[in-house]
């Protein structure tokens, strides 16, 4: 498994433009929330313990992955994902929740695509589907960096990202 620095450098290599990053701070949370609404529609009984949703199971799996990558960033992701899980779970009980989630999902992707117009680079997940999980993790890292935390990680990933971007641009020119 790639390290957090490797995953973040790969993601950052196509997210160097500040305007692209700003659009992702809108688009990614909208996409996550809508996906959680859809997963919240899939419910199952836990015997005498009530019920759970596929969103709850997905949250546990993804948080375990983030914990394996980087403990401190995983804590930030937990603080982000719990309100998302709570509100999306509430929305899943509303009539037409799937349609509302679909509209929010499309709006989120519009923001993402606008961002990549600024960047002039394709989204990271096009070449590596795992990058769909790294997008939220990257945003959390950017929040940490802006707050002055995890500066060593930032110093590690930024040069790698710039080098990867140069390789991507050079291969695009020769293609």
Range of the domain at 164: 4-174
Average pLDDT over residues 123-127: 82
pLDDT at residue 54, rounded to an integer: 97
Q: What is the distance between the terminal CA atoms of the chain, rounded to a whole angstrom?
A: 29
Mapping DSSP to helix (H, G, I), strand (E, B) and coil, where does residue 125 land?
Answer: helix
Judge whether 112 and 27 are in contact, CB under 8 Å: yes
Strand 43-45 versus strand 51-53 pairing type: antiparallel
Retrieve residue 125's tokens. 């997940």
Question: Which has more confidence, 167 or 141?
Answer: 141
- Count up the domains in the chain and report the number: 1
**pLDDT, position 173:** 78
Reported as a single tens digit per residue, the pLDDT across 28-72 is 999 999 999 999 999 999 888 889 999 999 999 999 999 999 999
**pLDDT value for 35:** 98
């Amino acid at each position: 498994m790639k390290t957090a620095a490797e995953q973040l450098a790969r993601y950052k290599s196509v997210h160097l433009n500040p305007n692209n990053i700003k659009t992702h701070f809108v688009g990614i949370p909208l996409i996550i929330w809508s996906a959680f609404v859809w997963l919240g529609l899939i419910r199952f009984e836990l015997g005498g313990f009530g019920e759970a949703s596929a969103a709850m199971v997905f949250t546990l799996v993804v948080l375990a992955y983030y914990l394996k990558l980087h403990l401190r960033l995983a804590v930030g992701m937990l603080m982000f994902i719990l309100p998302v899980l709570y509100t999306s779970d509430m929305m899943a009980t509303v009539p037409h929740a799937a349609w509302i989630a679909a509209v929010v999902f499309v709006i989120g992707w519009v923001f993402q695509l606008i961002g990549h117009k600024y960047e002039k680079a394709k989204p990271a997940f096009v070449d590596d589907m795992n990058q769909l999980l790294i997008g939220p993790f990257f945003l959390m890292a950017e929040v940490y960096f802006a707050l002055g935390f995890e500066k060593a990680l930032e110093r590690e990933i930024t040069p790698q990202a710039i080098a990867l971007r140069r390789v991507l641009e050079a291969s695009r020119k020769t293609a």
